[in-house]
Amino acid sequence: MDTAQYVGEIRSQLSDGDVYERLQVNPTQVYKLELDNMIDEALHDGLIDTKLAKYLKVDHPVVPVLYTLPKIHKDLQRPPGRPIVLGRGSLCNKVAIFLDRLLRKFATSAPSYVRDTSDFIRSLEGVQSKMQFLDTCVYKSDGLLHTDLFVKHTDRNNLLHFSSEHPRRMVESLPWSQLLRVRRIVSNDTLVDKRLDEMCLKFLARGYPGTDLAGFKARALSKERVELLGPRVRALTDKRIPFITAYNSLSNQISGVIRRHWPLLSLGHANIQEFQLPPLLSYRRNRNLKDELVVSDIGSSKRELQTTFGRPSLGNFPCLNCACCNNMVKGASFYHPHTGRKYEIRKRYTCKTSFAVYVLSCPCGLYYVGATTMEVRARISKHKSTIRTRRVELPVPRHFHDMGHSVNQLRYRIIDDVPVLRRGGDRVSFLKKKELKWIFELDTLSPRGMNIEYQQSIFL
């Protein structure tokens, strides 16, 4: 599936006038006023407290984006798209989370609610001949209802590979839980043996040792099916503190260190209940290739207006009309102050660019990374005046004073910016993030550069 096909699918879905309507203006701000009023009223009437009211209000709402997931089980060549609206950061995001939490306890008591496969099998009644639900197929035979494993024809063997870098315990316990699932679902005693073998073959193909699988299979067969179908009794969660990290190759060593030294806390602070048991080590999923490669917002199809003929020239250009033009370093690239790595500037900037990240440099080659929401020339003027007036409590004037540099030796270039956000959101916070990113990328914290600890310099 290529971009053109994807965009075509989205367009055809959006053109359905029964479902979607084209808006002339973005109504977000109007809705925001209404919603904020509603929240204020609820706060005033004592329905919610200040903390909740603050949580529910979204200061810089983003316009949600529609994307689709290809339904490859319908058609592999031209899969129809399942539409999804990504509402993260949108106006109603927090309200939706709040309502979902309130409604959850009612949803589970609705007659149509089916929690999982076991629940489904228990509640089966009056099936005609054959039907599927989740991973289960129900069929009639000899006047009785039977259940069998249901596998979609598009399913592939994508079980976690035995050599995967996932937590060892997770990889090793996977066959057991899957074989138990087969045992639970397949009701026919002769068929279950076949299905268990099929599952074992899948695991063999993914590198799992055969002897372990044979053991798991025998254990699964020895379990009574009725027992497995009973509602799962969860072990009471104890008072252990969860220790949550993203899993990586060092995780085992970290957990070893924690376990080895835990007695320091449990014996040293016998009066603190939480220290008596070692923490519960649990892992958050790391970013994977899909997270890196897949975006829900594929961007605008509109290209930026080109105002010059031929290839647009990139880099820094003086506006030729201000007192800071002379301090600007022209050009479309710059070098890392310590590693010498070359960076390309991929846009065109002038002294009048705003919402920008800039770099100051001095004759000894030290860098200072700053950001401003104003036109950069105004910010540079401020820097120059702090040097002239010897504001030595600030890092740049102090360095210029200490080293005897003159204000004319100050050089600057604009390296990055935050353009107007197409879908809304907090432009200032994006700028702050970019500034921080460049401070660490260019390694400009003192004494490696002229930045001292992160300052909120943007509003100056």
Distance CA 168, CA 287 (A): 19
Distance CA 322, CA 272 (A): 65
Task: Report which of 144, 152, 154, 204 is spatially closest to residue 179, judged by C-alpha positions.
Answer: 204
Distance CA 251, CA 249 (A): 6
The CA radius of gyration of the chain, in Å to the nearest whole number, is: 31
CB of 350 to Zn ion, least distance (A): 7
Nearest residue (CB) to Zn ion, 184 versus 398: 398
The token duo for 314 is: 């990139």
Contact of 181 with 168, CB cutoff 8 Å = no
Nearest residue (CB) to Zn ion, 174 versus 362: 362
Distance CA 169, CA 76 (A): 35
Nearest residue (CB) to Zn ion, 27 versus 365: 365
Task: Report which of 33, 30, 88 is spatially closest to residue 62, judged by C-alpha positions.
Answer: 88
Please give the residue ranges that form the binding site for Zn ion (CB under 5 A).
Answer: 318-319, 322, 325, 351, 362, 364, 366, 403
CB of 407 to Zn ion, least distance (A): 12
Nearest residue (CB) to Zn ion, 275 versus 349: 349
CB of 438 to Zn ion, least distance (A): 19
Nearest residue (CB) to Zn ion, 89 versus 318: 318
Name the residue number minimizing CB distance to Zn ion: 351
Distance CA 198, CA 221 (A): 14
Nearest residue (CB) to Zn ion, 195 versus 399: 399
Distance CA 171, CA 156 (A): 18
CB of 434 to Zn ion, least distance (A): 22
The 3-state DSSP class for residue 199 equals: helix
The 3-state DSSP class for residue 147 equals: strand
